[in-house]
Amino acid sequence: MKWDHVILNGQIVTEDETYPGNIYIKDGKITAITNEQLEGEANETTDATGLYILPGLIDTHVHSRDGGATHKEDFRHSTQAAAAGGITTIFEMPNTYPPISNKENFERQSANFLSKAFVNFGIWGICLGDLNIDDLKDLDKLGVIGFKYFWGYAVNKENYQLVYNYEEGMENVIPPCDDGEVYRMFEEVAKTGKIIAIHAENSELINHLTKRVKAEGGNSYEDALRARPALAEELTIGTGIALAKETGAHLHILHVSSGGSLDQIALAQEEGYPITAETCPHYLFLTNEDFETKGSMMKVYPLVKYQDDQNRLWDAIEDGTISLVCSDHAPHTLAEKQMDIWNAPAGMCGVEALAPLMLNEVSEGRLGLQDIVSLLSTNPAKLYGIYPLKGSIMAGADADLTLVDMEKEHIIRMEELHSKSKVTAFDGTRVKGMPVRTIVNGVTVMANGKILSSEPTGQLVTPERKGDVNYNE
């Protein structure tokens, strides 16, 4: 037998167990897992002695800015950053230019991403209310990973780009969807069997409170939290859950930041409704008190909140209310991020630091490696319908693997990030436990922090469809 890649002497980690083994790869697939060495030659051999082999890690929440603001980031850089951080698959958010709002844009962006992808990728579809309600069925058939609705955001009439701070009377702007439009979106997505994910913030409340706080002269992080409180997230989540209950849609709450939000999510889950949730490292490792040293580098939406919220998020990971952790990778230029709390844009680099930050919690004893597999690989793969091809180590699965050295120490430094714009609130953070080899479709893309591939070889990932969908119901 001529193997494409053989990995020897590693400790294989799944969500349920850890055991020693060798992995044999052919044509991008795992062909055999054994305790013995099989006969045959290999194009590539990796000695994994002292390393843990995880099913390829997945980041479900990435904004690569391509097309659009490619001076901040592009797909080539974001997928190299992903590989450098041990990520083998990313899900690209749909607010690109053009947005993933119809068949033509999906096909155009798929080709664009394929030409630049160093890891595998799925593509989100966007919900724009009545503007593209009739396009959702085509996006489903084409293979979007799920549908996202940016709740409360307006839309530019000319290019369908999101307008983040809508005010009544704006020219060339379509106002945010009313609840009737949102109800119809939930109905249509429910027919596909795919997830409808929401950015949960009540823009009307935020606009009202922001004007009040600014009029009072507020300019601190606490003032920003008064203008954009947990209530803004909780109100929207409450409405979303009610609509999901009524329509049967699978609702996924993106980047949960508030303890109060978890109460609603947990209750809906206990009642048996298909409600799932994620959070991000900035909510797990930062609080309002960090603004003094981090400044606007830590500005994200929803805002990072208080220690009690952080504690509640960790509890929700432990009890399963939160099923996955992702980065919400959203780079901006350094100059933009150095602006004041009101004017700095929300977002930072995250895809490269996601796994190291979470692996450090294994070193600290808060998590186990099997938890990492669940949160960053198996749970996302199952949730989005790509398991067991992704998120597993078994014969027949795709040969996407992340090799981890739990003794390796590292300091996250902005200047060393592989993204085009190198901005993060975790600059200077010391971690123990690092991805040291990223294998995508059987080929080593990253080894010891260096990108080895000269050409992009990532592939489009699409979920298994739920049979024939009757869109006329």
Per-residue pLDDT tens over the stretch 15-45: 999 999 999 999 999 999 999 999 999 999 9
- Identify the pLDDT of residue 465: 59
User: Which two tokens mark 470?
Assistant: 């009757």
The pLDDT of 406-419, averaged and rounded, is 98
- Identify the pLDDT of residue 467: 47
For 119, counting Cβ atoms within 10 Å of its Cβ (0-12 exposed, 13-18 middle, 19+ buried), the class is buried
- Identify the pLDDT of residue 466: 57
Q: What SS3 state is found at 221?
A: helix
The pLDDT of 424-448, averaged and rounded, is 98
List pLDDT tens digits, range 191-201. Answer: 999 999 999 99
More confident residue, 162 or 469: 162
Cα angle: 330, vertex 335, 340; to 5 degrees: 90
The pLDDT of 120-144, averaged and rounded, is 97
What Å distances lie between residue 157 and 129, 131, 133, 175, 182, CA to CA?
13, 10, 16, 10, 19
Give the domains, in start order, of the chain with CATH numbers: 2-53+396-451 (2.30.40.10), 57-383 (3.20.20.140)
Across the chain, mean pLDDT equals 95
The pLDDT of 202-206, averaged and rounded, is 92
The pLDDT of 392-405, averaged and rounded, is 98
User: Which two tokens mark 2?
Assistant: 């001529």
Q: How confident is the model at residue 468 (pLDDT cuts 50, 70, 90)?
A: very low
Identify which of 211, 212, 267 has the alpha carbon closest to the alpha carbon of residue 234: 267
Residue 462 has pLDDT above 80, yes or no: yes
Residue 449 has pLDDT above 90, yes or no: yes
Q: How confident is the model at residue 172 (pLDDT cuts 50, 70, 90)?
A: confident
For the chain, what percent of residues have pLDDT higher than 70? 98
The conformation of residue 472, written as its DSSP 8-state character, comes to T
Q: How confident is the model at residue 158 (pLDDT cuts 50, 70, 90)?
A: confident
Residue 347 has pLDDT above 80, yes or no: yes
